[in-house]
Amino acid sequence: MSKFRLKNLPISRQILILFMILTSVLGVGLGIGYPLAVKQYLVSNTYSLLEEEFYTLSQHISFNEHNELLPVPAAAPYFLQLLLQRYEYSFDMIVYAENGQELGSRSNSNGRIPYEDSKELFLKAATYPSQKLQHGSLDRGDESYLFVSKKMDYHGFPYYMVLFSKEQELNQINSILTRQFLLVFGLLLLVSWLLAVWFSGYLSRPLRTLEELCKKIARRQFDIPLAMDRGDEIGQLARSFDMMKNQLKEYDESQQHFVQNISHELKTPIMAIQGYTQGLIEGVFQGPQAEKGLSIIMEESKRLEKVVGQLLYITKIESVSQMMQVDRVDLSEMMHLLKQRLSVLNPQIEWELNLADDLIVEGDGEQLSTAFVNIMENQLRYANSRLTISGRQAGKSVVVTISNDGPPIEEALLPHLFQRFRKGKSGKHGLGLAIARAVLEAHKGTIDARNDADGPCFTMIVPIEFKGRLS
């Protein structure tokens, strides 16, 4: 049996389990800590209340001629009496003579405390120094007391005044408050668990929807909506999936188009080679016709070799960035050299260069040269009279634009211009611009084409620092 792992459960179950564990631990901690904290709070406040009550009652202590305690009025405010009465909580008072004789008392509880308990209270009170009010406690087995005491003097008559409260009453209050708290906490815990169940489903529902949509994408069902009306991370994930779906759809269409076009590009020279070869074997072509046939076979073979070579080159560029030899490259110098090299292809075209003095980037000079040559050859093929090249540094990149004054690029072709075997009416193999894009993307750059008022314009952005992968 495999080990149980939380991460193997659905995310809604993980959220629910983790939340329940967290709240359960919190509940156990509060269930243990809350009564202790309340008990400590009640004990501390009981001493404070006893002390306040002591000072208030001491102002009303008086004796008759027989040293008997006269009645003491209730000192606590009425609302406090009601509050204490609700919790069966009271302050009792006993006044002792120096010899321990009980001179009088005031009791708010249901009955007097046992004689032995009263005697022990006096003994406890008499053991403390008489200068200050003392706090103490007495444990009598079934009953415990918290008390404050002080030796007092009434017109030369010494006595002990002890004000006390039963700790059992504090425990009852603690029990009541704890039960009330746990009841409220239990209700809140139940409500929070129900909300957690709903919330976990609320989070996992769109993820399950995305899972189903991804399965459809895996089956190449691209015509499905992926947008979700959410602004959170799940909505962002859905938009990312939608972007991925569109790119996969575009790639799938590109691959289908690629297979169709490469079949055509390879089939034409192969059929020509086969046809002329068959004619030469059967003796159909003789003399000058045979020489012409051999010449055509050679031309078609070179054409076939060029197409295959370009396919191999673009495959290497797209899949093996480690093949690049990175060095410092001056694009401004490269543009001038390419002008001298390519201007002979079409002498009627005027070249206009607007380049900064130093356009230094890190990259593979040979591959970048190949990319710019392919773009310039494409521009020269369609230009009427002028080819314009501009270059400038923008931030941490170099921006190069190449434009001509020829006819605009077909709008239907423009979005697919850099795909393999996508070419215009005068195009050759449809691989030149695809190679240019692959080279620039290997350098973490971009290439874009648009139709300006003066003619087609290509914009290339090359980072100054090489950001590819080398090992």
* DSSP designation for 119: H
Percent with pLDDT over 90 in the chain: 11
Query: For residues 99 and 94, what is the distance between their CA atoms, to the nearest angstrom?
Result: 14
Q: What is the pLDDT of residues 151-201, one digit of tens each?
A: 888 888 888 888 888 777 667 777 777 777 778 888 888 888 888 778 777
Q: How confident is the model at residue 391, as a pLDDT?
A: 93
Identity of the highest mean pLDDT range in 101-110, 294-303, 448-457: 448-457
Backbone Cα Rg of the chain:
48
Statement: the pTM of the whole predicted model exceeds 0.75:
no
Identify any residues that bridge with 330 across adjacent strands, giving them in sequence order.
Answer: 360
The position carrying tokens 């399950």 is 208
* DSSP designation for 453: S
Q: Any long-range contacts for 366-370 (C-beta under 8 Å, 24+ apart)? A: 366/325, 367/317, 367/324, 367/439, 367/442, 368/329, 368/331, 368/334, 368/439, 368/443, 368/462, 369/334, 369/338, 370/435, 370/436, 370/439
Query: For residues 46 and 237, what is the distance between their CA atoms, to the nearest angstrom?
Result: 59
Q: What is the pLDDT of residues 5-16, one digit of tens each?
A: 666 666 667 777
pLDDT class for 471, splitting at 50, 70, 90? very low
Closest CA to 422 of 303, 194, 257: 257
- What percent of the residues of the chain are helix, what percent strand, and what percent coil, each to the nearest 5? 55, 20, 30
What stretches of 320-467 show up as alpha helix (H) in DSSP?
331-342, 365-382, 432-442
Query: For residues 255 and 263, what is the distance between their CA atoms, to the nearest angstrom?
Result: 12
Query: For residues 382 and 406, what is the distance between their CA atoms, to the nearest angstrom?
Result: 5
State how far Cα 14 lies from the chain centre. 17
Q: What is the pLDDT of residues 383-436, one digit of tens each?
A: 999 999 999 999 899 999 999 998 888 887 887 787 765 555 544 445 778 888
Q: What is the pLDDT of residues 123-148, one digit of tens each?
A: 888 887 767 888 888 887 777 888 88
pLDDT at 365 over 60: yes
Task: Write down the number of H helices and E strands in the chain.
Answer: 9, 12
Lowest mean pLDDT among 48-52, 69-73, 259-263, 275-279: 259-263
Q: Yes or no: say if 55 and 147 are a contact pair by the CB < 8 Å rule.
A: no
The mean predicted confidence, pLDDT, of the chain is 78
Domains identified in the chain and CATH numbers: 11-174 (3.30.450), 233-319 (1.10.287.130), 323-463 (3.30.565.10)
Identify any residues that bridge with 403 across adjacent strands, giving them in sequence order.
Answer: 388, 457
